[in-house]
Amino acid sequence: MHNSSIIVIKSVKRDWKLVRRSDLAKFMNTIETEYSMALTTELKIALSSLIDQLLSNPKQMRNMAADLKPLTRDDIEVAFGIFVGYVTGGFAELFFESQKRSMTSSELIEVRKIIFDRALEMKKAIAHVRAIEKNN
């Protein structure tokens, strides 16, 4: 830690007894961001490949969402949530196995951005499966 970060926190809360957990979390996040790491090209390719692999069979997500139909209104949104869960969980496992550590906040932000950039593609694949089912 360097002194400028400590001074920033002291200026926010003069009495250390009043520092809340959220203040500490913001402080730690600031420090972590300063020394954060980025996803390697190989990890970005692995994440993209995982999304591609899941896109090749969107019916699986659609079927899981359909099983929850009595509990939910919009099965495409539920299927999309399942899809994102599969991508996030699968990549987190791959990342931990290959890097022997958890992702930093900046790496998580990159993962979210990649997923967000491909979200429409995922939703369209799920909607396509639904359209085919309705036509049959």
CA distance 47 to 61: 18
- Condensed to tens digits (0 to 9), the pLDDT of residues 66-95 reads 888 888 888 889 999 999 999 999 999 999
Rounded distance between C-alpha atoms, residue 30 and residue 58, angstroms:
38
Per-residue confidence (pLDDT) for residue 77, from 0 to 100: 92
Residue of 31, 35, 36 whose CA lies nearest to 3: 31
Q: Which of 135, 122, 134, 132 is nearest to 61 (CA)?
A: 122
98 closest CA partner among 24, 136, 43: 43
Mean pLDDT of 113-120: 96
* Local confidence band at 5 (pLDDT 50, 70, 90 cut-offs): very low
**What is residue 15's DSSP assignment?**
S
Q: How far apart (Å, rounded) are the C-alpha atoms in residues 54 and 61?
A: 9
Instruction: Record the pTM.
Output: 0.69
